[in-house]
Amino acid sequence: ETGVTQTPRHLVMGMTNKKSLKCEQHLGHNAMYWYKQSAKKPLELMFVYNFKEQTENNSVPSRFSPECPNSSHLFLHLHTLQPEDSALYLCASSQDRADPGRAGELFFGEGSRLTVL
Amino acid sequence: TQLLEQSPQFLSIQEGENLTVYCNSSSVFSSLQWYRQEPGEGPVLLVTVVTGGEVKKLKRLTFQFGDARKDSSLHITAAQPGDTGLYLCAVTQGGSEKLVFGKGTKLTVNP
């Protein structure tokens, strides 16, 4: 138990569906992240939120729409996805860091395994 | 071109053997982290190294950061089935706090 909970754990959707992934952290952290993990590729950073404000959008297609209503919750809204979007989507959180250029510890959830048919 | 090269990509060994996995680059890093991701789970941080030449030990795991801060190694002594997982290195560069991950080494320790 890392203190970061993701739901659902598994999701199968068609290309015309709209679905959402949810992430909740119980660690009191101020930063939350969405990562995409595909086979044979490195973990790809998608979005970063600090104090509910989006600070990073790593050129993610608009069919992925993040929402961060507060520092404890993060959503990823999905619509008109493509089969190549099938992957494990990982949410993570971290504390604010006092030292620029030094990454703090990321606490990851267990991930949501997405399959797009 | 990948910023980080992790090797080997796959490693399958017997319980009790020793092993070393590597994380290499031509770039200099401010800090480097190692994570382990077990099947069906998210990655979990093992260690952070920030000083060139630094060596850190975590039970049977020994982590080394290269003198030039361009590479790192993870050595496991007397591997156990519980060590099975994907070992990921991640780095920050310059003044950025953004973590960049390697593809990982998938380790299987057979009983």
Query: Most A CBs within 10 Å: which of B25, B88, B97, B106, as the mutation test of the A interface?
Result: B97
* Closest CB to B99 among A41, A106, A109: A106
How close A38 gets to chain B, by Cα (Å)? Answer: 10
Which residue did the predictor score with more confidence, B23 or B40?
B23
pLDDT value of residue B2: 65
Under an 8 A CB cutoff, do A2 and B44 touch? yes
- Which residues touch B49 (CB under 8 Å, ≥6 apart)? B31, B32, B33, B56, B63, B64, B65, B72
pLDDT in tens, chain A (117 residues): 779 999 999 999 998 889 999 999 999 998 999 999 998 889 999 999 988 888 888 889 999 999 999 999 999 999 999 999 999 999 999 886 545 455 678 999 999 999 999
pLDDT value of residue A50: 86
- Which residues touch A46 (CB under 8 Å, ≥6 apart)? A33, A34, A35, A36, A57, A58, A60, A64, A66, A76
A48 contacts in B (CB within 8 Å)? 98
How close B98 gets to chain A, by Cα (Å)? Answer: 7
Which tokens in the block code for residue B18? 């020793």
Residue B44 pLDDT class (50, 70, 90 cuts): very high
Q: What is the pLDDT of residues A17-31, one digit of tens each?
A: 899 999 999 999 989
The answer on pLDDT for B89 being more than 90 is: yes
